[in-house]
Amino acid sequence: MDRWMICDSGHVHWGAHGASGLLLKFTPPDGEPCYLLQQRSRWVDHPGSWGIPGGAMRAGESPEAAAFREADEEIGPVPRYRITGIDAQDCGGGWKFYTVCADVDRAFSAFCVQETDATGWFTREQMRTLHLHPGLQRWFEEHV
Ligand SMILES: [Zn+2]
């Protein structure tokens, strides 16, 4: 099951098989794309920062399946979405975080079920005032 592991670069990571998160995007017909972010609870790493729902992948689980399962656990039911891409970020020591990108048809209301203090939809501009999780910050700098 889930456990801490030490990668080839000596980092300590949660999840022996890597981790995965779900980045949902809604583009209004006449507006800027916005993304569903989750403010992380105090008792997870990078507490209080804004990231995306996600967590450790189980043995044999795909990044898509893990991202869906974790989102469901953390922010409640997610409406139907279309996966548009999966990006793997390697920490440099062989451990990977997968960002599963998907489009939804509306900015639905997410819940705070587990490990989540708040949720919200933000444009890239609005994110500039948020304290983003460093992994998500890097992802946006490289992709959007
Ligand atoms: Zn590492």
Cα-to-centroid distance, 139 and ligand 1 (Å): 16
Helix, strand, coil shares, percent, the chain, to 5:
20, 35, 45
β-partners of residue 98 are 20, 88
Enter the tokens of residue 75: 């922010």
CA of 123 from ligand 1 middle (Å) equals 30
User: Cα(98) to centroid of ligand 1, in Å?
Assistant: 14
**Position with higher pLDDT, 3 vs 26:** 26
- Is residue 141 very low, low, confident or very high in pLDDT (cuts 50, 70, 90)? very high
- Mean pLDDT in residue range 83-110: 96
For residue 1, the model assigns a pLDDT of: 60
CA distance 142 to 144: 6
Spacing, Cα 20 to ligand 1 middle (Å): 14
Whether the pLDDT of residue 129 is over 70: the answer is yes
Query: In terms of pTM, does the model score above 0.85?
Result: yes
Q: Give the count of domains, the chain.
A: 1
Rounded to the nearest angstrom, the distance between the alpha carbon of 5 and the centre of ligand 1 is 9
**The pLDDT of residue 79 is above 90:** yes
Domain with 92 in it: 4-143
Given a cut of 90, is residue 118 above it in pLDDT? yes
pLDDT surpassing 90 at residue 53:
yes
* CATH assignment of the domain containing 10: 3.90.79.10
Q: What is the pLDDT of residue 46?
A: 84
Q: How far is the CA of 99 from the centre of ligand 1 (A)?
A: 16
